[in-house]
Amino acid sequence: MKLQKILNRLQKLHPKEIDLSLDRILKLCQKLKNPQDKIKAISVVGTNGKQSTINALFSILKEANIKCNVYTSPHIQEINERFIFNNLKLNDDELIELFEEIEEKNDNNPLTFFEALTACFFYKAAKYPDNINLIEAGLFHRFDATNILKSNLASIICSISKDHLDWLPKDQQTVEKIIFEKTSSLLNSNIIVSKQNSEETVKCIKKTISKNLSEKLFFNENFSYSSGENGFFYYEDKFGGLKLPTPNILGQFQLENISTAIATLRQLNLGVKDNDIKNGVTKIESIARLQEIKSGKLKDIIKNNRLLLDGSHNEDGARVLNEYLQSLNCKKHVIIGMMANKDHEKYISYFKDISSLTTIDIPNQPNAMSGKKLKEKFKNMPNIQYKESIQKAIESVPLKEDDLLIITGSLYLSGEFLNLN
């Protein structure tokens, strides 16, 4: 209860949820003696794959006995997920102490909620100067609160596509503008570019970072992977090749993110051994990214049928999700809820050969699209229905033996499912 009261106060410090400017975070961090200048960071930007890449980095670094601090957003179930220090998530009491200290230093000055959380992370991270900090950029990056570092170990550019277009002027809602916002202010260190969804995107990234003096590594030019047989895949870069066990997470796109993580760690020469990589890729923790749900109250409803949870919510996420679904020889049933500011028609256009589609409301999210309106948008999809709750939706799906059920469309929906389950 006390934690929630503090969060409520922090959310009221600024009338806007997002206000793209660095002035406020810089002023607060100056009061905190610029903790962001005292840490070793790997910055991760992009549209999709940021958290999956961080999860892979974290897993491998833990295998190498290298302590990490991790800052990601949004959280899925609880805000504690955003604050990992010394490899451990902060508990409520630790968060309360941290938030109260920053709240006192800020002294009620205007500050967005994300800026407040970012200042909290930097302040705590500076107390572990030897740790590696894995930092996920928020919206766009150029005016994002995480973009106040003066130096870092590396910047990773994950897959970039259209998302959050409502935060851009109408005449600038393009991939080119998003690439500029996410990559034009990257620091001079190392830049590792993950697989992109088109050659045009790669060319645009190269053009935008052409004057950046970093050493640059591009997927398929400086590092690559290939799928092998008998439970292995093969990774290769200038340091040589690695035969690696199949990761413990689903989806071809995860091999792209994992390969980017490996390229980064080998480039930085942090003391990570080949065996650390081999072991690390089999122990990756991933929530709501093609996560298979194997137990729980809601899973019990469908008994032996497989249940997947995926928080993808934009067209690139839909594309890689459906590449995985197309590889499965079974009937697929989809339950979907989405936020109002997404390109709903574009997202659903990637779903092919779906046996049924159920739209739902996302509880506790005033900015969500209503399930009824979503059904109307998807009216050309076969076997579509609307149900008001996750449980009623699951109970209504006509599953037969070996059918697959997937819940998707929003990380907020994923969080609600996990809490209910």
Q: What is the pLDDT of residue 265?
A: 98
* C-alpha separations of 127 from 35, 40, 85, 133, 154 in Å: 9, 12, 10, 12, 21
Whole-number mean pLDDT of the chain? 94
| Fold category of 291-420 in CATH | Protein-Tyrosine Phosphatase; Chain A (3.90.190)
CB 89, CB 49: distance < 8 Å: no
Rounded distance between C-alpha atoms, residue 342 and residue 337, angstroms: 11
Rounded distance between C-alpha atoms, residue 107 and residue 125, angstroms: 21
Dihedral sign for Cα 24, 26, 27, 29, please. positive
Domain boundaries, the chain: 2-280, 291-420
CATH number of 2-280: 3.40.1190.10
Q: What is the pLDDT of residue 236?
A: 98
Residues 372-390 have pLDDT tens digits of 999 999 999 989 999 999 9
Q: What is the pLDDT of residue 322?
A: 94
Nearest Cα to Cα of residue 317 among 405, 225, 409, 227: 409
Q: What is the pTM of this model?
A: 0.93
Q: What is the pLDDT of residue 17?
A: 76
Q: Tell me the residue type at 119.
A: A
In 3-state terms, what secondary structure has residue 378? coil
Q: Which residue has the tokens 């709240």?
A: 103
Q: Tell me the residue type at 95.
A: L
Q: What is the pLDDT of residue 138?
A: 84
Rounded distance between C-alpha atoms, residue 26 and residue 24, angstroms: 5
Rounded distance between C-alpha atoms, residue 173 and residue 165, angstroms: 6
Backbone angles phi, psi at 245, to 5 degrees: -70, 150
Residues 259-290 have pLDDT tens digits of 999 999 999 999 999 999 999 999 999 899 99
Low-confidence residues in the chain, pLDDT < 50: none
